[in-house]
Amino acid sequence: MHARPLRDGPPYLLVGNSARALARSAARGGYDVHVLDGFADADTALWARSVTRLPWGHGQEIDRVPPEVVEIARSLGPFQGLVYAAGFESAPYLLNSLSQIWPLSGNSASLVARVKDPEGLSALLQALHIPHPESRRTRPADARHWLCKRIGGAGGGHVRAAEAVGTLGDDEYFQRHVDGRSISALFLANGRRAAVVGFHEQWVNGDADNGFYAYGGACSAHGLSPAMRAAMRAAIERLVAAVGLRGLNGVDFVVEQGAFTLIEINPRPCITLDLYDPDWDEGLFHWHLQACAGRLPGRLPVPGRVRAHRVLYAAHKAVIPAGAIWPDWVTDRPAGPQEVPRGMPVCTIHAEAARTGEARPLLDHRTAWLKRCLEVSGTSPYIHVEHEVV
């Protein structure tokens, strides 16, 4: 399944909530990898030498990597290095332990802790003149237009309206809501400088009963003016120079009326690498490793097609049969037989098109169609997806 002959040397270990996107990119670059993640999806197994599923401590808390990761990672080695995806932001101490076993290719545990500390981040952004929303530990007098978030939370499932919050947890904080479009950037950094891989529009799941702010998806058609992109790029450059970010990283913004606000920094490879990886000959995993070692690409690839993806969450318990057949535009395919509890991610749907404005409608069409398939699949042995042309 590797696009290139395998490179020499011991394999890499990929860890996180889901390492599928990284594993696929690594395979494109000819890297031999083992995966330790929360899903152990069927397609991840195509791109990795082995896939091990992490035991979840708390069912729904898919943005918290369990402490068992350290012992399991030790037992799977030896590895040339370890690359981590989302999931460790709430537990930098686990990253620290892992770094004692295998060399980390990515930001250090202390850097992750620094950019995830709401007070520290506010002070940093203030000093760098980067607009950001007010954050506080005490309840605002008028909680409307405020959100409650968990420190180091990922995937958006931890974000809720401040009005709905009773007692604030020790690891939670309030942040003022900013109106506008959610725009994110994916970039490579070498500790001093940045190379922006792409800007994309992001959206939330939007299900009022079930994780409204959970990650919904993203599309590489963003509609930003060159001046806005230049201003955001300059902010990213200042951030990288100030904190020394390395490898693939992401930044979330909210954009409205010609101004941007920085919401958060994701100090590790983001799932949105899906939107750009095919444009990079050796894949972005390769460039993540290069950037961690101090090397940025001399030239950025010409952007290819417009790409979009969406996470499909289970509206009801989803029963995935053994031997389910999925369309080739679905990734993160649960290995059947398996039941996906309500509210948990089932899979990711992808669409791409030559022109701006065409990828999203195709994604919507595929989403509606797949939802119908999942609803009717019930006890049948297959998700009958191969018969319809979409």
Ligand X SMILES: Nc1ncnc2c1ncn2[C@@H]1O[C@H](COP(=O)(O)OP(=O)(O)O)[C@@H](O)[C@H]1O
Residues of the shown chain interacting with Mg ion in the complex, contacts defined by CB under 5 A:
252
The dihedral built from the CA positions of residue 328, 272, 107 and 121, taken in this order, carries a sign that is negative
Q: Which does 254 bind (CB under 5 to 8 A by kind): ligand X, Mg ion, none?
A: ligand X
Shortest distance in whole angstroms from residue 31 CB to ligand X: 27
Which of 95, 100, 112, 80 shows the shortest CA–CA distance to 13?
A: 80
Structure tokens at 173: 């904080």
Spatial separation of the C-alpha atoms in residues 255 and 265, rounded to whole Å: 15
Shortest distance in whole angstroms from residue 295 CB to Mg ion: 27
Structure tokens at 16: 């996180």
Spatial separation of the C-alpha atoms in residues 370 and 172, rounded to whole Å: 36
Among 153, 217, 334, 343, binds ligand X (CB under 6 A): 153
Task: Tell me the site size for ligand X, rule CB under 6 A.
Answer: 21
DSSP character at residue 332: S
Looking at the Cβ atoms of 266 and 377, the one nearer to ligand X is: 266
* Residue 306 near residue 353 (C-beta atoms within 8 A): yes
Looking at the Cβ atoms of 213 and 326, the one nearer to ligand X is: 213
Among 87, 133, 269, 283, binds ligand X (CB under 6 A): 133
Looking at the Cβ atoms of 18 and 290, the one nearer to Mg ion is: 18
Tokens 């995806």, residue? 85
| 3-class secondary structure, 231 | helix
The dihedral built from the CA positions of residue 301, 219, 221 and 259, taken in this order, carries a sign that is negative
Looking at the Cβ atoms of 184 and 377, the one nearer to Mg ion is: 184
Spatial separation of the C-alpha atoms in residues 336 and 46, rounded to whole Å: 15
51 contacts ligand X (rule: CB under 6 A): no
Looking at the Cβ atoms of 80 and 272, the one nearer to ligand X is: 272
Shortest distance in whole angstroms from residue 258 CB to ligand X: 17
186: Cβ contacts below 8 Å, ≥ 6 apart: 196, 197, 198, 200, 248, 249, 250, 270, 272, 273, 275, 276
- Tally of residues, the chain: 390
Q: Which does 202 bind (CB under 5 to 8 A by kind): ligand X, Mg ion, none?
A: ligand X
237 contacts ligand X (rule: CB under 6 A): no
Shortest distance in whole angstroms from residue 36 CB to ligand X: 21
Write the burial class of residue 147 (CB in 10 Å: 0-12 exposed, 13-18 middle, 19+ buried).
buried
Shortest distance in whole angstroms from residue 264 CB to Mg ion: 5
Looking at the Cβ atoms of 191 and 211, the one nearer to ligand X is: 211
182 contacts ligand X (rule: CB under 6 A): yes
175 contacts ligand X (rule: CB under 6 A): yes
Shortest distance in whole angstroms from residue 252 CB to Mg ion: 4
Spatial separation of the C-alpha atoms in residues 11 and 137, rounded to whole Å: 43
Among 188, 194, 254, 289, binds ligand X (CB under 6 A): 254
Enumerate residues 200-219 that contact ligand X by CB under 6 A. 202, 204, 213
335 contacts ligand X (rule: CB under 6 A): no
* Residue 81 near residue 102 (C-beta atoms within 8 A): yes
User: Which stretch in 107-115, 147-155, 241-249, 326-334 sits in contact with ligand X by CB under 6 A?
Assistant: 147-155
Q: Which does 133 bind (CB under 5 to 8 A by kind): Mg ion, ligand X, none?
A: ligand X
Which of 56, 248, 323, 158 shows the shortest CA–CA distance to 334?
A: 323
Spatial separation of the C-alpha atoms in residues 61 and 266, rounded to whole Å: 18
Q: What string marks each residue from 257 to 286 as x (binds ligand X by CB under 6 A) or -?
A: ------xx----------------------
Spatial separation of the C-alpha atoms in residues 219 and 203, rounded to whole Å: 9
Among 45, 72, 143, 159, binds ligand X (CB under 6 A): 159
Question: Which residues make up the interface to ligand X (CB under 6 A)?
Answer: 133, 147, 149, 153-156, 158-159, 175-178, 182, 202, 204, 213, 252, 254, 263-264
